[in-house]
Amino acid sequence: MSESSVSEAQVREVLRDVNDPEIGRPLADLDMLREVKIGPDNAVAVTVELATPAYPRRERIAHSIGAMLAAKLPQAGRVDVSFTARVKGKQSGGAIGLTVQNIIAVGSGKGGVGKSTVAASLAVGLQLAGARVGLMDADIYGPSIPHLFGVNQRPEIVEQHAPDGQTIRRIKPIDAAGLKLMSIGFMIGFDEPVIVRGPILHRTIQQFLQETAWGELDYLIIDLPPGTGDISLTLSQLVGLAGAVVVCTPQQLALLDAVKAINMFRKVKIPVLGVVENMSGEIFGRGGAKQKAAEMSVPFLGEIPIDAQIRVNGDAGHVRNSFAEGSPSRPYLMNVCEQTAIEIARTLLETPSMPTLEIL
Ligand SMILES: Nc1ncnc2c1ncn2[C@@H]1O[C@H](COP(=O)(O)OP(=O)(O)O)[C@@H](O)[C@H]1O
Ligand SMILES: [Mg+2]
């Protein structure tokens, strides 16, 4: 090899120390450097595998790679960085037959703080980023997912064949532009009251989770009922959740509810991914949730301003419209999705079986 030519091994060596700016560890350690190809004129093509398609500002990685090569391997020619993503997870729904990488519960201390709106937005945003996503309405008493997506149809029952030849019946989730939805609202209609008692509640949730044909998902978002720990406990007994997202509004009183919700999740052994401050702005103030999150050593996943259009879109069954280009809430909603996905990727690396990581 002539002195001026560049080899794949050299490139990999030089790129060893480029950090994933979100996770804070080298790309090589995270096995993120997939293909490295050298072309004519020493052109370098690198493929980086991200932990989530909802990776914020991925161009930072491309920039670091370019800068590192320019500094340490000046004979390299043009540098091209492309990205793929593969979502990893605990897959702990496997015990009940699910093929879901990450199950995310969205909870709050009380109702009316925008929990369902945030759950639906997480689902839409992660799907827009390119992930395979399901959304389950576990708010048995006040299901709002059908309403938010403007769908009200009965799910079909499908028959599937288990490997042992047995026929199993599964509920087919409602397909909302590629997003898989399941809600008790689909079973009973919009306005009928739901009366479900303790043991049946447990059974209903289990059935929803287990007997829905979710297929392969990167993320399954669960919209929890406000406050109570029953359903959270049921979930944590059935599957190992990636974690919970706690939604609150900025007022002091609402923050106390958020603290209650965080403590409730901790009690039922569901890791808290972080807190979202919803409806922040002039009326309710802002920043309270961020401060409370820091006090409780819980990540802050972002704020969503109060925006009449979010309410209008939700009421009209068009939650997706809040993500339209030019929608003022879009960047805030996307940020919450990205922060949540990154937090999951981060906590996944911190499983007890692995050596302790430095605090980032
Ligand atoms: N950021 C926001 N700006 C304006 N209205 C919002 C926002 N978030 C939620 N809402 C509205 O607040 C009401 C309650 O939201 P919802 O998601 O149903 O709350 P929860 O599930 O906690 O009861 C709905 O009318 C919803 O459209
Ligand atoms: Mg709700």
The 10s digit of each residue's pLDDT in 197-237 is 667 778 888 888 999 999 999 999 999 998 778 889 999 98
DSSP code, position 110? S
Question: Where do the CATH 3.30.300.130 domains begin and end in the chain?
Answer: 8-85
230 lines ligand 1 (CB under 6 A): no
Answer whether 0.95 is exceeded by the pTM. no
- Which CATH architecture does the domain made up of 92-349 adopt? 3-Layer(aba) Sandwich (3.40)
**For 248-288, what is the HEC assignment?**
ECCCHHHHHHHHHHHHHHHHCCCCEEEEEEEEEECCCECCH
Tens of pLDDT, residues 168-199:
899 999 999 999 999 988 877 555 656 666 67
Report which of 185, 111, 112, 104 is spatially closest to residue 150, judged by C-alpha positions. Answer: 185
Those residues of the chain that have pLDDT short of 50 are 1-2, 352-360
Counting ligand 1 atoms within 8 A of each CB, the residue from 117, 122, 275, 320 with the most, and so the one to mutate, is: 117
From the CB of residue 169, how many other CB atoms can be counted at a distance below 10 Å?
10
CA of 342 to the centre of ligand 2 (A): 25
Report which of 345, 96, 121 is spatially closest to residue 240, judged by C-alpha positions. Answer: 96
266 lines ligand 1 (CB under 6 A): no
Residue 161 pLDDT: 85
Report which of 129, 161, 150 is spatially closest to residue 53, judged by C-alpha positions. Answer: 129
* Token pair listed for 239: 């599957």
H or E element: which one contains 182? strand 179-183
Reduced to 3 states, what is the DSSP secondary structure of residue 54?
coil
- 8-85 CATH choice from 3.30.300.130, 3.30.930.10, 1.10.1660.10, 3.30.70.3270: 3.30.300.130
Residue 353 pLDDT: 38
Residue 84 pLDDT: 97
* Token pair listed for 6: 């560049």
* Separation of alpha carbons 108 and 112, rounded Å: 9
